[in-house]
Structures are given as structure tokens and as C-alpha cells.
Structure 1
Amino acid sequence: MASSKDIEKAAGVLRAGGLVALPTETVYGLAADAMDPAAISRIFQVKGRPPSHPLIVHLAGAEQLDAWVQDVPVAARVLAEHFWPGPLTLVLRRGPRVPLEATGGLETVAVRVPDHPVALALLAAFGGGVTAPSANRFGSVSPTTANDVRAELGDAVDFVLDGGPCQVGVESTIVDVTGEAPTILRPGGVTREDLEAVLGHPLAVPSTSQVRVPGQHPSHYAPRARVVLVEPETVIAEAEAASESGHQVGVFLPAAFADVPVKAHAVVAVPASPAAYAQGLYGFLREFDQQGCDLIIASLPAEQGLGLAIANRLRRAAGPRHTV
């Protein structure tokens, strides 16, 4: 676990325009000074991320919100009060201190307060905000341990803060609060049901949006192996057929079939708990790659609670692969 000396060193790296991998409750982020356009541009270079894809600004507390954004509606204040620190990102109008490099050229900016002691200690020591997309190559599986970051980005990161494994395991929920009614742009660690309970009305989850935010590319969160989604009752048959045709198959075995033997190269029994599944999802995908799988067979969970975020990530992982 990162020490106070590590925190101070990381803060110095940020002040010097460097990049720091920091742990959050969701995934590890690749952080830079949110007011330094050159450092922000380096994030895009290291990740191979298109510069039109906005980044999330991470703050130390909700009290800093007005220093970074404009025109904060009541709904945003309510959500921040209930879910910050936590895996919720709010899209608001950009304030003058946010460079356009961080927003993909947009006049909106995504902001959140992470719920991790190491991230909060770094933000306090640094004394400012950081932009921090996931610390991996664009489109690939997000890292949930410090070793994941080191394995993927190596020396491209100036300093890695180790905060242990991430507890949530999937990225934050992104809610647009710039329109007439809040809208979920990306499901994540805060569930739709929890948001609706706080706001007192249903929230839309549009399949497409005019607001660009992280995680909307058709292929995202993808392992090297190709991911194929099938119905839960056909997972075993599809996996065994693919194995017989010569594929090295990894299988996400649904909890209902956990006791059924399956002939495949690697098998992960899906945890019955959605929280445990979300926490382990990216690690499972990385493990299939490490075991040499070239095909992963999976099914979608029920799209309620954290199942909505898990299904979103699996669909993106199975999407047509991007080219940059």
C-alpha cells in the first residue's frame, strides 16, 4: 500500500507535468494535472486515445465543484451530496480553469470525487484536480491492480501508486445533468435504482447521446481474445463447439450452471453476487488472455443493479474492434 512518502512523491510528479497511476474504488487511473494541457496531451499519447474523447476530472471533495464548473443545477448538488466520494461522475458545463484538451473540445466536463484513501490523499497533497482515465491502452481491459498498470503501460507512467485491488471493479456511472432531466450516459458503480431513489423519478439510459463521454466507443474494455455473447442456456454448447473447431476457449459459466462440467481451455464460474462479478470482471478477462484464450464465450446478466454496468462492459468488449 502506498505510504505518505509515496503520496508526496506522486504529488511532485504531477506538479512537474508527469503522469501518475492512482488507485480508485473503480479502476486504476492515469492521472495528470487537470490544468496542464501538455500533461493532459501526454495522457492521450500514452493511451493511444483519440483526442476527441473527453477525460474525467477528479476532485478531492464536492466543495471544489464550483471552482471547476458552471451552472450547477439542484439535481447535481443532490447527487453529489449522496454519492460523493463514490463511483458517480457528473457532466456539467465547463468552468474557465478546465482546458479544452481535457474535454475533447466540448463545453461540458465530467467530474467526480473518488472513494479511495490513496486517491484522496494524493488529491489533497497535490492541491488541485487531476484528469484520470483508466490506466491502460485505449479500448483494452481496464486495470484493477497496480500490477495490471505496470504490465500494460510500463515505463510510460512516471510513478505508480499501489492502493491494492479496486473494490468496485467497473468504472463510475456517468450522469449528464446539463439538460432538462438527468440522464445516465454510462452505467457503472452507482446503480440506476439508487440514483432514482435519491432523485425521486426514473432516469433514462439512452443508447446514443449527443454528449461525448468516456466508454462510448463501440469496442471498449476489450481483451485480446474475441468475446462472443450468447444466451445463458447455450454457453456450454457454444463453448464446446468452438473448442472442437480448434479455438482456445475461455468460458464465463453462469451461476445457474456452475456444477455442469464444460470442455474448454479455461473456465470462470460467474459469481452469484453482482458486486463480486463486477469487482472481478476485468481480472477474469485479463486471466483469459494470460492463459492464451483466443475466444471468450459469455452471456449477459440481468440488467438491473450492477448487472446493467456488467452487461454494458461485456457488450463493449464484444463490439467491433476499433482502429486508431
Structure 2
Amino acid sequence: MILPASAPESIAAAADQIRAGKLLGLPTETVYGLAAHADDDAAVAQIFRAKGRPADHPLIVHVAHADAVAHYASAVPEFAQKLMQAFWPGPLTLILPRRPGVASAAAGGNPSIGLRCPSHPVAQALLTKLLEDVGLDALPVWGVAAPSANQFGRVSPTTAAHVQAEFGDDLLILDGGACQVGIESTIIDCTRGQPVLLRPGAITPAQVQAVCGLKVLLKSELSALAAPAPKASGTLESHYAPQATVRLMTAKDLQTALTLLGHEAPSQTVRPSIAVYSRTVVAKASTHVLYRRMPDDAASTAQQLFAALRDFDAQGVKLIWIETPPDAQDWDGVRDRLQRAAS
């Protein structure tokens, strides 16, 4: 059931849902999450079952503000504190050492935990209510575990309707509109003395480095360090995949492939079998091809990416040919999602 998040009674109903140990579809500025009480291991277990997600693949815990971090983290390095001050609320997840005995299921049993403070006003309203609206029979809910509200490995949802399509009418979903960022948060590991990028997103390594004054390492640069990077959400090789097969191509290869298809007379009866998503304007070859233009800037592309992939699936295409994003840091988040979708 979808509830309009603008109604105060909707936030109250959502808070009751979380306190009762049930699941909730929650809008954030990145994607919609499948939320549960982060400190209720039985509630969190429902997330793993509903998504078909391995129980050792950790979830990100969403908190109302930085003051709630101490409930989950045993230590917060100075550079991590600077990142919170600069980017929270916002699309940045920090991996921190976890307090023993806290949110074990949400962390996938790992000694670290991913924490984020979302900027979406609906998420903020719910998290604040859960934390501050307490009484004789209600303890504070310090955070909610909320991975993307989709089946594990599939395309993330950016609207309430996407979530309902994944989990049906029985799930309570707060409708906060289309997500503004459109791809999942940047993940920075803060457990090894300097920031390590585990997943690219809207916040770039250059922005992180400018704030904390430390070089941001990539996972490929961790060989000189003693321990491997901690497990983190959304970092498996194959992820974010539609039903159709995704192939990344240069603009030249894309045009060559379309030319080889040949030209056909327009037909209202032919169902497109190939979708093309590119910044370069290409000559459409046949009625078997569905064309959609990719925006020229990374932020706009990220905002519409998952919705575009879902739309292609809805139209029944079997192949999605996508122009490879530019080799620039602001495109890293989009490129990462597309490479995983094509893996």
C-alpha cells in the first residue's frame, strides 16, 4: 500500500510499522530503501528474505543525524567527522568500526558498519520521529537498515511505484516522489586510517579529499595495506541488472551495430527488441530499435538511469546497448552501475 508522505498520519503509520518490527518502503534522495529497525535482528532478517540477499552482505544503516553515530560505531576518526560535517545529510555512507553487540544482523556479522544520514525530507521526518518520539512504552530507534527496495542484484527503485512492482500491495510504502540523485550513495571506508573508496556515487573522491585533506585510496590500491576492504553494500561484480542483457559500447561501435541491422519501413506491429541509450545522436536502423537519449551531464543521467532501465524492461526489449560514459570522475557512479549491470 502506497501512502502519500506529505500527510502527517503517513509518517506516524510508517513509524508504527518500524517499531512493530515490520518492513517499510522508504524514499531517500538516492533510491528507495526497504527499511527495518536496525537494532531488531528479526526485523532485519526479513529484509534479507524479501530481497533474496545473502545474510553476510551488509546493509547500510540510516540515521537522523551525526549524534546517532555513537550508538553504532565504536570509533569515529577525525577525517570521518569532517566528512559528516561536510556531506551529511547527503549521499555519503561511511564504514566505521561497529560497537560489539549492536546491529549485528544489519552489518552481516561484520566488525564494521555502514552509516548514512539521508537528506530526503521524508526519510528525515521518519528517522527524527523514531529517535525523538519516545514514551513509557517506546524506546528510541537509533536507525533503520535500508538497502535498495528491489530483489537482490536487480535494478534499484527510484519511485514508489517501482517498489510496489517489486514487493506488491502488502508492503507499506511512503511515496516521496522520484529520487533526486537516482543512484546509491558513495561509500568511503574509514576503518584504516585514511579514506578508501568502496563504491562511487554522486560525491566524488576529489570532493572527499578536499574536505578531509587525505588522499582517497581506491580498492585496487589496497594491496600495500594489511587487511582487505570490509564488505559493503552494492559492491558485488554483478549488480543493478535489468532483465534485458546490457552491453556497453563506444559511440562508433554503437552506430556500426545499428547500421548492420539495416533499415526497415515503419511498422506499428513490430515490438522493439533492442534499446539504445546514448548521448551521441545515432541513426536508428529499424523498428526493432527503441531509442532514448542519455543526458549530457552525469547528474541528470544518474537521476534517470534506473528508471530508464526499468522502462526498457517494461517494453520487453531483450538487449540494451548503452554508450560508454565519459572517462571523468563525475561519471564514475554512473559508469560503476552500468559496468555491474553489464557484468
Compute the TM-score of the two structures, normalised by the length of structure 1.
0.92
Q: 1:243 to 1:48 in 2, by over 3 A?
A: farther
Given the alignment, which residue of 147, 155, 160 partners 1:146? 160
SS of equivalent residue, structure 1 residue 103: coil
Map of 1:232 onto structure 2 = 251
Task: Quote the residue 1:258 is aligned against.
Answer: 281
* Match runs of 1:145-294 below 5 Å: 145-155=159-169, 157=171, 159-207=172-220, 210-241=229-260, 248-254=273-279, 257-258=280-281, 260-263=283-286, 264-294=288-318
Counterparts of 2:261 and 2:191, CA distance in 1: 46
Identity across the alignment (%)? 44
Q: Does 1:6 align with 2:20?
A: no
Partner of 2:266: none
Counterparts of 2:215 and 2:327, CA distance in 1: 15
Aligned to 2:79: 75
Contact 2:219 2:229 in 1 (8 A): no
Q: Distance in 1 between matches of 2:285 and 2:278?
A: 9
Shift of 1:105: 1.2
Question: How far apart, CA to CA, are the structure 2 residues paired with 1:281 and 1:20?
Answer: 24
Q: Determine the C-alpha separation between the residues in 2 that align with 1:55 and 1:7.
A: 23
Residue equivalent to 1:298 = 322
The answer to whether residue 58 in structure 2 is matched with residue 35 in structure 1 is: no
Secondary structure of 1:21's aligned partner? strand
1:217 maps to a residue whose letter is L
Are positions 1:115 and 2:129 aligned together? Answer: no
Alignment-mate amino acid for residue 106 of structure 1: N
Q: Structure 1: how far apart are the matches of 2:311 and 2:37?
A: 32
Distance 1:117 1:133 in 2: 18
Tell whether the 8 Å contact from 1:243 to 1:249 is kept in structure 2 after alignment. no
Q: CA deviation at 1:145?
A: 0.2
The answer to whether structure 1 residue 311 and structure 2 residue 335 are counterparts is yes
CA contact (8 A) 1:238 1:297 kept: no
Contact 1:68 1:97 in 2 (8 A): no
What residue is the counterpart of 1:87 in the other structure?
A: 91
Rounded Cα–Cα distance in structure 1 between residues aligned with 2:304 and 2:110: 33
1:26–1:243 Cα change, 3 Å: farther
Rounded Cα–Cα distance in structure 2 between residues aligned with 1:200 and 1:248: 49
- Distance of 1:156 and 1:109 partners within structure 2: 30
Q: For each residue in 1:162-185, what CA deviation from the matched residue of structure 2 results, as whole angstroms up to 9, or x when unmatched?
A: 000000000000000000211000
Question: For residues 243 and 162 of structure 1, do their structure 2 counterparts lie closer, same or farther at Cα, with a shift above 3 Å needed?
Answer: farther
| Matched-pair contact (CA < 8 Å) for 2:302–2:334 | yes
Question: Over residues 30-87 of structure 1, what are the superposed CA-to-partner deviations in whole Å (9 max), with x where a residue is unaligned?
Answer: 0000010000000000000011100000000011111210111001100000000000
Give, as a single letter, the amino acid of the residue that structure 2 aligns with 1:258: V
Higher mean alpha-carbon deviation, 49-58 vs 189-198, is at: 189-198
Partner letter of residue 231 of structure 2? R
Segments of 5+ residues of structure 1 without an aligned counterpart are 320-324
CA distance in 1, matches of 2:74, 2:115: 12
Write the distance in 1 (CA, Å) between the matches of 2:259 and 2:209: 42
Alignment size in residue pairs: 315
Q: Show the 5 A alignment for 1:100-139.
A: 100-127=104-131, 128=141, 129-139=143-153
Counterpart for residue 322 of structure 1: none
Q: Who wins on radius of gyration, i.e. which is larger?
A: 2
1:30 counterpart SS class:
strand
Give the Cα–Cα distance (whole angstroms) in 2 for the partners of residues 293 and 174 of structure 1. Answer: 32
Asked if the contact 1:170/1:188 (under 8 Å) is kept, the reply is yes
User: Mean Cα displacement is larger for which, 226-235 or 166-175?
Assistant: 226-235
Structure 2 unaligned blocks of 5 or more? 132-140, 223-227, 264-270
Q: Do the aligned residues in 1 keep the contact of 2:258 with 2:283 (CA within 8 Å)?
A: no
Q: Deviations over 1:252-275 (max 9, x none)?
A: 122xx2264443521111101211
Indicate how the Cα distance of structure 1 residues 199 and 295 shifts in structure 2: closer, same or farther if over 3 A, else same.
Answer: same
Whole-Å separation in 2 of the counterparts to 1:286 and 1:68: 35
Which has the larger displacement, 205-214 or 7-16?
Answer: 205-214
Cα shift at 1:241:
4.1
Instruction: State the alpha-carbon separation in 2 of the partners of residues 77 and 285 from structure 1.
Output: 36
Structure 1 residues 162 and 247: alpha-carbon distance in aligned structure 2, compared to 1, 3 A threshold = closer
